[in-house]
Amino acid sequence: MVVNFPDISALLKHAKDQSLYQNLVAQLQKDFVFANVFIELPDNISPKDLKTLVHEKVYYLIMEKFTDYLNLLYIIDVPEKVVKAIEATDVVEISEQVTFEILKREWQKVWFRNEYGS
């Protein structure tokens, strides 16, 4: 069953507890590459560093390469209505919430693949 998480830290802790954290990192790397957005995620990256790197990349894309940002959201399959529903006053907050949505969607992919798939 997919869990609703209160924040990014809880999601990443749950992924580690389920022994699926590395799969989550691999899925992120795969989708970023597919969206033609470079991000370097070492295999042994800590959850805190992962959160920071993804947040920084999302912030950069919003500020500097908005088309790439939209493409990334499309590739990862973050629902448009979720992004539009974000209520924040500055780009840092928006990018943090979008990072959470990206990680939640990637977690869903990893979890479903682990539960039901190949």
C-alpha 92/C-alpha 107 separation (Å) is 22
Q: What is the pLDDT of residue 2?
A: 61
| Domain assignment present for 15 | yes
Q: Note the pLDDT tens digit of each residue in 59-83.
A: 999 999 999 999 999 999 999 999 9
Provide the domain count of the chain. Answer: 1
What's the domain range around 29?
8-110
pTM for the model: 0.93
C-alpha 12/C-alpha 4 separation (Å) is 12
| Domain assignment present for 3 | no
| Domain assignment present for 116 | no
Q: Note the pLDDT tens digit of each residue in 83-106.
A: 999 988 899 999 999 999 999 999
| Domain assignment present for 106 | yes
| Domain assignment present for 1 | no
Place of tokens 């990014």: 8
CA 76 to chain centre: 8
